[in-house]
A and B are shown apart, each in its own frame.
Chain A
Amino acid sequence: MTTLARTSAVGRSRIARPLQYLALLAYMCFLAFPLLFLLTTAFKTPRELQSPDAGILPERLDWTNFTAAIDKADLFTAAGNSLLVAVTTTAIVTAVALPAAYALVRFRTRLRAFATGWILLSQVFPFILIIIPLFLLLKDIGLVNTLLGLVLVYAVWSLPFSLWMLQGYVAAIPVELEEASAVDGAGRLKTLARIVLPLLAPGLVATSLFTFINSWNEFFFALVLIQDPDMQTLPLALARFVGAEGQVQLGQLAAAALLACLPSLVFFLLIQKRLTAGLLSGAVKG
């Protein structure tokens, strides 16, 4: 069936396909040019960066910005801290949000109204105004200057998004699929594992990516919570390259930023296949 649908689609779109590639290329130029910008900037000397006549490409591959940046801001320690925080946060959020989202959609209880209210309130109220009460709270329970404090805050504040989106993905799964499985005599857990989870995989990837990147990039709360240089996360380290009144060590900043955004991209490169739910036909037969 799949092959049939695909061949007919391809047959119809002999003209459409080149257009699709063209559109995709346009999107990529719009979205991905910063990578080019970072790559070229990171290899330029301060003199080249200030020169109005300099070409797009650096004169030569000069690694000084990278070595200087790593020396100056202790990027590896910061990257280690960021990785620890982002991975732990993502794990917690996924483990908590998945069952909760399922329950909120499939069981119509009073919890749902509460959860919806909380989710919306937590997103609508400007986070910037929550920082101080949150900081005071963490101070009272002794979590200032700890990565655990960051993890807890990031987890709790990423949860509304994950819950909200996962509810959308669960709601998009026809209940009939689950009922069919139940009629076949499968228990609820088995139904969850064999029908719901595979269908939810793309949604889980999307939400965990969200949590990962947001924890990886969060700046403001880390700024107030973390003082110890050994505890600083990458965004804090990057702030070292920006001075007063728009002074920036651009070459080093670009080098550091390039190193900082690569992990997110690699992480996504590895999991993006999961965004393709090739497991669907199996689910229906089950």
Chain B
Amino acid sequence: MRTRNSVVAGVLALPLALTGCSAFGVGGGDDEGGAVTLTFQSLAFQDTTIAATQEIVDAWNEANPDVQVELVQGSWDNVHDQLVTQFQGGTAPDVIHDESADIMGFAEQGYLADLAPHLSDEVTAAVSEDVWKSVTTGDGAVVAAPTLLQSYVVFANTAAFADAGAALPTGDTLPWDDFQSLAAQLTAGETYGVGWGLQQPTATVMNLSLGFDGTYFTGTGADAAIEVGDAELAVPERIHAMAYDDASLDPVSLTQSGSDVLPGFFDGKYAMYVAGNYIAQQITESAPEGFEWAVLPPLAGTAGAVQAANPQTMSVAAESEHVEEAAAFIDFFMQADHQAALAQGDWLIPASGEARAAVAEQTAGENGWEAILASGEGLSAAPFQSAVDYPQWKDQYATPALQQYLADEITLDQLRDQLTDGWSELG
């Protein structure tokens, strides 16, 4: 009996004894002696961007001994879930790196501080009004500084163009009609004109629809109402026609992710490849020897080469104890030379016009940069970005419906009905 009791006591004491063990990281608080320490969670992914971010933070820390920034590395894949939990517990980082599509929900829930009073005029002026709109809530609070933007661009295999006797399109924009006829012209035998990874179709379709004035929603916030007309359906309809009427777009690629389709582009299976402009980085890094490629002018619908802007963002947690200091750091982070360096690391488009000019100069427009930067001019806020139930509608109705339509399982009318009925289901 006695033995057993002491065994039990020992087992009970084990976890308690561990509490004292510093190996587990308990205790050991770091007192900085009066200085403010801000946590900054960065999502930088490419090695060059990680290095550039570190440099900016180091420069800040050197210049501001009283406000030290501690860099924490997060990842795009999980940042949303991490923030949901941390906001609940009040332990979110002071400075939060994310994207507009994700943070507007958090802003609506009151978790993000209004930066408008803290940002310098210089930074405010450098970014277009249209892009600021994508980070402004219904009641006018600016909940983030927009940093880098992506656009959807058409990559071309120039050798395939030459083989098919097609001229590389020049000009400021590439109208959808031209894009479609080019695709048909480039389709022959085993080669499709276009490969397009649309496994998650909603964001791409919504963003490009703006080029046809397809806004999907009217009104903002909780009052947003859906409207799915011809303008909204123009993009899916055209993609569908290319896949099933012209057979100039590989329907299999529509069910894959962008990176799944890339090997087919390298292999010459697709003459053109539509993807986020940042894929240019992957192409320069991993294309086979001698692979010749170019970025075509931005796709234009009836309303011009317009796409919805979904910038990466820098925000401050509303519950941060040092909102002002954190906003000052963001202001520093937004400086044109900093943004230019980050943009080149990630092959993204700076929201700041000044930084765009710097990138154009530093890259001399090579490796597709000219066309990529040009596509950045047409980026604008879209109404769907401020519709409160948009994420739920996107997951539960829009994505399955678009997937089915692009797999030729439902008709255009059914697509329209599912999109509209889904929204009223949520209302």
User: Which residues from chain A sit less than 8 Å from chain B, CB to CB?
Assistant: 46-47, 49-53, 72, 84, 88, 91-92, 95-96, 99, 131-132, 135-136, 139, 142-148, 151-152, 155, 189, 220, 223-224, 227-231, 239-240, 242-248
Contact = CB atoms under 8 A, between A and B. Distances in A.
Interface string B266-279: 11000000001010
A144 B77 contact: no
Contacts of B86: 224
Contact of A144 (B39, B46, B91): B91
Interface string B41-60: 10101110000000000000
Contacts of A243: 45-46, 75-77
Nearest to A49: B286
B263 interface: yes
B257 A245 contact: yes
B263 A227 contact: no
Contact of A95 (B14, B23, B41, B43): B14
Contact of A139 (B26, B39, B91): B91
Given A50-B262, A223-B81, 11 more contacts: A46-B285, A47-B288, A132-B89, A142-B26, A144-B91, A223-B82, A224-B81, A227-B39, A242-B75, A246-B258, A247-B259
B15 interface: yes
A246 B286 contact: no
Contacts of B76: 242-245
B23 A84 contact: yes
B11 interface: yes
Interface string B137-175: 000000000000000000000000000000000000000
A225 to B, nearest CB: 9
Nearest to A71: B47
B64 interface: no
B349 to A, nearest CB: 15
A46 B285 CA distance: 7
B3 interface: yes
- Enumerate the 8 nearest inter-chain pairs by beta-carbon distance, A residue then B residue, closest first: A243-B45, A244-B76, A148-B24, A46-B286, A50-B286, A224-B85, A246-B257, A52-B267
B81 A244 contact: no
A47 B15 contact: no
Nearest to B99: A244
Q: Which of B24, B84, B89, B266 has the most CB of A within 10 A?
A: B24
Contact of B26 (A53, A148, A189, A244): A148
Residue of B72, B77, B267, B289 with highest tally of chain A CB at under 10 A: B77
Given A52-B264, A147-B25, A148-B25, A239 B89 contact: no
14 contacts: A52-B266, A92-B14, A132-B89, A139-B89, A146-B24, A147-B25, A151-B15, A155-B15, A189-B3, A224-B81, A224-B82, A240-B75, A247-B45, A247-B278
Of B82, B85, B258, B278, most buried by chain A (CB within 10 Å of CB) is: B85
B89 A50 contact: no
A105 B11 CA distance: 20
Contacts of A99: 7-8
A196 to B, nearest CB: 14
Interface string B227-261: 00000000000000000000000000000011110
A146 B25 contact: yes
Interface string B62-88: 000000000011011110011011101
Given A46-B286, A47-B287, A50-B262, A245 B276 contact: yes
Nearest to A139: B89
B49 to A, nearest CB: 10
Nearest to B72: A227
Contact of B266 (A50, A96, A245, A247): A50
B105 interface: no
B125 interface: no
Contacts of A148: 18-19, 21, 24-26
Mostly, the A contact residues are helix
B394 to A, nearest CB: 15
A72 B263 contact: no
Contacts of A96: 11
Contact of A189 (B4, B78, B88, B287): B4
B302 interface: no
A92 B24 CA distance: 15
B24 A239 contact: no
Contacts of B15: 92, 151-152, 155
A74 to B, nearest CB: 10
A223 B83 CA distance: 10
B93 interface: yes
B85 A132 contact: yes
A78 B278 CA distance: 30
Contacts of A144: 89, 91
Given A151-B24, A242-B75, A242-B77, A248 B259 contact: yes
A51 B263 contact: yes
B362 interface: no
B181 interface: no
B282 interface: yes
A244 B93 contact: no
Contacts of B8: 99
Contacts of B285: 46-47
Contact of A147 (B23, B266, B282): B23
A148 B19 CA distance: 7
A47 B286 contact: yes
A136 B45 contact: no
Contacts of A240: 73, 75
Contacts of A52: 263-264, 266-267
Given A223-B81, A224-B82, A242-B77, A135 B88 contact: yes
A283 to B, nearest CB: 22
Nearest to B199: A246
Contact of A72 (B47, B75, B276): B47
B282 A247 contact: yes
Nearest to B269: A52
A242 B25 CA distance: 27
Interface string B294-320: 000000000000000000000000000
A135 B90 CA distance: 11
Interface in B1-48: 3-4, 7-8, 11, 14-15, 18-19, 21, 23-26, 39, 41, 43, 45-47
A154 to B, nearest CB: 12
B88 A132 contact: yes
